[in-house]
Amino acid sequence: MVEEQALLALDKDLSIANEIPEDLSVRCDRRIIRTVIQNYVNNAIKYTDAGSIRIHADPGDPGWVRFSVRDTGSGFEPEERDRLFGEFGRLKRHEGVKGTGLGLALVKLLVSAYGGQVGADSEGKGKGCTFWVTIPVSARAEGPAQDADPSGSASSGSASRQA
C-alpha cells in the first residue's frame, strides 16, 4: 500500500519512509489501520510539493499505539485545525487539488469505533504537519493478535474491540 503510494510520490520531489516495526501487534481490524494510513499518506502526497513523508508508530498511553504521518508540505494554521476532520472540511487554498473532503471524516469515524483518537499538528501554513491516530495494542492473553501490516498486503479479519 505504501509502495503503491510511493509511486505517486515519484511524480513529485518526495521521499517516503515507512518506519513502522514489522512485528507490531494491534487489537484492531487491519483493514482499518490500512485505510487510515492510506488516507493520511495520500493527503501527505497531495498537499506536499517537496521534501519527505515519514510514517511512524510510537508507544502511546498504556495499551495504545500512536501511528503518525509527518510531511514537509502545506501545513495549516491553528484556526484551520478543527475543520480538517469534519465532513467536506477542505481548506480553501486546496480547492485546486482533487478531493471529496471526506477522507479524514471517514478516518475519524472508523477510529472512534475502537475508542481511538485522531488529531493533527502543524507549526503553520507552509511548515508541514503531522496527522496521528491512536489504536489499541494487542493483549496477547486475550486471544489471537492482529499484526499491523505496514505493507498493507494483509486484508483479513475481525478483531476484538477495546471495551
Ligand X SMILES: Nc1ncnc2c1ncn2[C@@H]1O[C@H](COP(=O)(O)OP(=O)(O)OP(=O)(O)O)[C@@H](O)[C@H]1O
Interacting residue ranges for ligand X, rule: CB under 6 A: 39, 43-44, 47, 71, 73-76, 84, 89-91, 94, 99-105, 129
> Which chain residues interact with Mg ion by CB under 5 A?
43, 103
- For β-strands 13-18 and 50-59, DSSP reports them as parallel
CB atoms under 10 Å from CB of 8, counted, come to 14
Q: How far is CA 126 from the centre of its chain?
A: 20
Residue 150: contacted member of ligand X, Mg ion, none (CB under 5 to 8 Å, by partner type): none
Residue 76: contacted member of Mg ion, ligand X, none (CB under 5 to 8 Å, by partner type): ligand X
CB 152 → ligand X: shortest distance, Å? 17
Residue 84: contacted member of ligand X, Mg ion, none (CB under 5 to 8 Å, by partner type): ligand X
What is the C-alpha to C-alpha distance for residues 133 and 36, in angstroms, rounded to an integer? Answer: 8
CB 149 → ligand X: shortest distance, Å? 21
What is the C-alpha to C-alpha distance for residues 163 and 83, in angstroms, rounded to an integer? Answer: 28
Furthest CA-CA distance within the chain: 50
CB 104 → ligand X: shortest distance, Å? 3
Residue 154: contacted member of ligand X, Mg ion, none (CB under 5 to 8 Å, by partner type): none
CB 94 → ligand X: shortest distance, Å? 4
| Cβ atoms of 138 and 13 closer than 8 Å | no
